[in-house]
Amino acid sequence: MDQYIGLDVSLKDTAISVREDGKRIWRGRCPSDPKLLAEMIRKNAPHARRVVFETGPLSTWFYHVLTTEGVPAICIEARHAQKVLNETLNKTDANDADGLAQLADAGFYKAVRVKSFDAMMARALVAAREQLLNISTQPGNQIRGLMKTFGLIIPKGAGRVFDGNVRRLLEGNDGLAKIILPLLEAWYDMRNRVAGLDRQLLTVARESQATKLLMTIPGIGAITAVSYVTAVEDPENFRTSRSVGAWLGLTTRRYQSGEVDYDGHISRRGDNRLRGLLYEAATALLTRTNPRTESSLKSWGLKLRERLGFKRAAVAVARKLAVIMHSMLKTGEVFNASAGATV
């Protein structure tokens, strides 16, 4: 008889519930280690048909280890599962595991594609770079603010220009220099570390034929290309190129109930970071004026800008970029400037 297991995963412990023939036959707890979980599942549910758990911080690790151990693991969309789990009178880890086991038994769930460890490594690199870059702006702003108090206005400039201007203005002001220079050294150190991650990112981009292919599109740099390739992984994961736009939350939401039927803003579902990068790429494509950026895609976006405004046009171009990039990965063809808006 087939058995269906629900796992409610937390950082310390995982609640387990096993169902068979529509009834719970066993439940328990186990430390949140997928290898230990696999042993416990084999012991208490030797005929496991589905082992279901929600998306979360540990889901990638759990999925790959459990499947390697021969466990039929399925990662499901947490938002969908919570709509069912929140209906229970008493919300406990054990009851959540029971609810997940019932979803596994009924087949009423939406499975999520779990990314590979290699893809997650590249995504971690992009995320770490972004985080350090954001942090590195704080000391610079703090230095500018503190020095304004004493009438020392730092001219516009970044990098070595900023460093040189700060040191020049601090000459002869030893008291203020003792306060500002530690901040300046911290700022400089963080910028060096960001540069180190930049080099790693460029190395990853150069080693991938898919990434180099996407970088033939105007406005698409190494960060956006790497993020897109690692998010999509295999182009065959999507039946059509147009579905990528909806997957990234770049299509319009719709609400219909009785006589009410209206379209709202974009759904903003999916990968928030990649969606932002595509919007930045679309902005660059629409605002830069040089021969390399000229294409039918840009012309289409500029016409939309005249009719709908810049932000809506940029969102539309970002969605179109997502579709074009998927089509390029599928066909292996470089960006065609004359056919860019027809995909």
294-333: per-residue pLDDT in tens?
Answer: 889 999 999 999 999 999 999 999 999 999 999 999 999 9
In this prediction, residue 251 carries a pLDDT of 87
Distance of alpha carbon 328 from alpha carbon 232, whole angstroms: 12
pLDDT of residue 288: 86
Q: What is the pTM of this model?
A: 0.85
**Which pLDDT band holds residue 342 (cuts at 50, 70, 90)?**
very low
CA distance 235 to 232: 6
Lowest mean pLDDT among 105-109, 111-115, 120-124, 254-258: 254-258
pLDDT at 265: 82
Superfamily the domain 3-106 falls into: ATPase, nucleotide binding domain (3.30.420.40)
Q: How confident is the model at residue 341, as a pLDDT? A: 47
Tell the burial category of 168 from Cβ atoms under 10 Å away from its Cβ (0-12, 13-18, 19+): exposed
Contacts of 312 (CB under 8 A, 6+ apart): 304
How confident is the model at residue 279, as a pLDDT? 95
Question: For 116-125, 218-227, 330-339, which range has the lowest pLDDT when averaged over its residues?
Answer: 330-339
| Integer angstrom CA distances of residue 85 from 105, 106, 225, 263 | 15, 14, 38, 29
Domain ranges of the chain: 3-106, 117-207, 210-331
Helix, strand, or coil (residue 17): strand
31's CB contacts (< 8 A; 6+ apart) are: 12, 13, 14
